């Protein structure tokens, strides 16, 4: 389960039981940092925190500040500046070379944070992207406070409340733009009465991985993908293999006839792995998923085997075009020297993640661009 999934579930349970806590959200990062804007952490009185906003360096200090807020207080932004030698003096000594700003606010039943996270959770269940705008700092006389929110609900409507109509209109436009661009950013918006900084966060549709083939080598693939918080759907034509107890981490396990028409939802956040070890089945599935919106279609096995499959498709009248071939990955995986099923699973899942992030999967020490070019911190 990803930290976002864990946060959504923990907040739902907390506020659903009438409880309250403190929500910490990374709202701005300058320079290098472990997490990006949108990373969250939930602090609950008498319980372990949920989530992570750094590599474990800031959490103890934030927990102390959260306890103060639970006792009573207004939302506040905490700044951790690790860019100067003073960082070693004032206590944390992180040496990350960046500045991190974390918004701390109380969350309880019906609060803006609670309502927005419930709508985010509903949108994710419906496989819709969402966007949330959170006011960070305010200057002026408008009835707007840090922690006020607008968000795009699952049905596309703007929900929440910003007390200044001019600011609300501008922020609503930012939300719609974030959905289109798929990016998270901090913007400054002004009205005749106030100026405010706003975190405009894009929350993407969860990744759904379709695994065709329920052999023993699919087990570590499913386990690893599910551990990343992906929804995993396992398909196989053999009832003895397509059993939920063999894949307890999977979102769904189905027995289907690969040679017949069967329903499976595939969108632009649904990569597909073909690992049936059956040439006829892989040919049928390859044709089907190349005709879908899948951004990644991986075929397990040597390159020559896939070339044969493509040749058979062409003889059947389905000639793959350049767009098809750009989404086709065969052999599957990054070149990490994989030998065992577990290592092959790691190689395959790493490649899928790189493709979805539009990265080449190379060593980070050779990357000259910033590691984080923007966007939400989780998938």
Burial class from Cβ neighbours inside 10 Å (0-12, 13-18, 19+) for residue 370 reads: exposed
Find, among 64, 58, 106, the residue nearest to 79 by Cα: 58
d(CA 195, CA 175): 17
Residue with tokens 């599957």: 332
Strands (E), 62-184: 76-81, 98-107, 130-140, 149-152, 158-161
Q: Which residue shows structure tokens 């959770």?
A: 121
- CATH superfamily for 208-364 is NAD(P)-binding Rossmann-like Domain (3.40.50.720)
**How many H-runs (helices) and E-runs (strands) does the chain carry?**
10, 16
Instruction: State in Å, rounded, how far the first CA of the chain is from the last one.
Output: 11
Q: What is the predicted pLDDT for the residue at 38?
A: 85
Cα 192 to Cα 166: distance, rounded to the nearest angstrom: 8
Torsion of CA 285, 290, 291, 294, to 10 degrees: 100
Which candidate, 356, 347, 279, 338, places its Cα nearest to that of 310? Answer: 279
Global pTM value: 0.85
* Residue whose token pair is 């098809």: 324
pLDDT in tens, 271-280: 999 999 999 9
* C-alpha closest to that of 115 among 50, 160, 178: 160
CA distance 180 to 185: 13
Q: Under a CB-based contact definition with an 8 Å cutoff, are residues 219 and 245 in contact? A: no
Residue 157: per-residue pLDDT: 87
C-alpha to C-alpha distance for 282 and 275, rounded to whole angstroms:
8
Instruction: Give every CB contact of residue 103 below 8 A, 6+ residues apart in sequence.
Output: 24, 25, 27, 75, 76, 77, 134, 136, 146, 147, 199
Angle between helical axes of 218-227 and 341-356 (0-180°, round to 10): 50
| Per-residue pLDDT reduced to its tens digit, 48-80 | 899 888 776 788 888 888 888 887 778 888 888
Question: Residue ranges of the chain with pLDDT lower than 70?
Answer: 1, 32-34, 56, 83-97, 154, 370-379
Which are the contacts of 24, defined by CB distance < 8 A and separation ≥ 6?
40, 41, 42, 43, 51, 53, 62, 66, 102, 103, 104
HSE value, Cβ hemisphere, 13 Å, CA-based, for 275: 25
- Sheet containing 149-152: order of strands: 158-161, 149-152, 130-140, 194-203, 185-190
Q: How far is CA 279 from the centre of its chain?
A: 34
DSSP state string for 44-64 = -TTS--EE-SSSSSSHHHHHH
Contacts of 204 (CB under 8 A, 6+ apart): 129, 182, 269, 376, 379
Q: Which of 25, 294, 274 is nearest to 135 (CA)?
A: 25
- Sketch the domain layout of the chain as residue ranges: 1-109, 129-205, 208-364
Return the SS3 of 21: strand
Q: Cα 242 to chain center, whole Å?
A: 28
pLDDT of residue 12: 94
The residues near 230 (Cβ < 8 Å, ≥ 6 apart) are: 206, 207, 208, 209, 379
Strand partners, 42: 23, 50
């Amino acid at each position: 389960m990803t930290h976002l999934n864990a946060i959504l579930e923990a907040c739902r349970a907390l506020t659903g039981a009438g409880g309250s806590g403190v929500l910490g959200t990374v709202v701005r990062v300058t320079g290098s940092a472990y997490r990006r804007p949108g990373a969250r952490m939930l602090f609950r009185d008498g319980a372990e925190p949920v989530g992570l906003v750094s590599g474990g360096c800031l959490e103890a200090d934030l927990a102390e500040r959260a306890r103060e807020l639970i006792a009573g207080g207004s939302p506040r932004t905490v700044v951790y500046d690790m860019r100067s030698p003073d960082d070693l003096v004032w206590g944390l000594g992180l040496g990350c070379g960046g500045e991190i700003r974390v918004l701390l606010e109380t969350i309880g039943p019906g609060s803006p944070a609670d309502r927005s996270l419930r709508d985010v959770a509903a949108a994710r269940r419906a496989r819709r992207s969402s966007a949330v705008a959170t006011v960070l700092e305010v200057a002026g006389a408008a009835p707007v406070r840090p922690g006020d929110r607008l968000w795009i609900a699952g049905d596309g409507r703007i929900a929440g409340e910003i007390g200044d109509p001019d600011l609300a209109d501008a922020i609503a436009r930012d939300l719609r733009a974030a959905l289109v661009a798929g990016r998270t950013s901090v913007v400054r918006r002004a009205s005749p009465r106030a100026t405010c900084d706003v975190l405009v966060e894009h929350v993407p549709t969860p990744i759904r991985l379709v695994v065709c083939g329920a052999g023993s080598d699919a087990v570590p693939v499913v386990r690893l993908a599910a551990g990343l918080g992906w929804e995993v759907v396992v398909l196989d034509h053999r009832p003895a293999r397509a059993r939920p107890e063999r894949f307890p981490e999977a979102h769904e396990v189905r027995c289907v006839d690969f040679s017949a028409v069967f329903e499976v939802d595939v969108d632009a956040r649904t990569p597909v792995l073909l690992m049936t070890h059956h040439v006829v089945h892989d040919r049928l599935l390859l044709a089907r998923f190349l005709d879908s919106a899948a951004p990644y279609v991986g075929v397990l096995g040597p390159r020559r085997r896939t070339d044969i499959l493509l040749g058979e498709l062409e003889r059947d009248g389905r000639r793959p075009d350049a767009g098809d071939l750009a989404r086709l990955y065969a052999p599957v995986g990054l070149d990490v020297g994989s030998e065992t099923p577990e290592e092959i699973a790691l190689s395959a899942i790493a490649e899928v993640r790189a493709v979805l992030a539009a990265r080449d999967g190379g060593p980070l020490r050779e990357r000259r661009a910033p590691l984080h070019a923007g966007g939400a911190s989780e998938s």
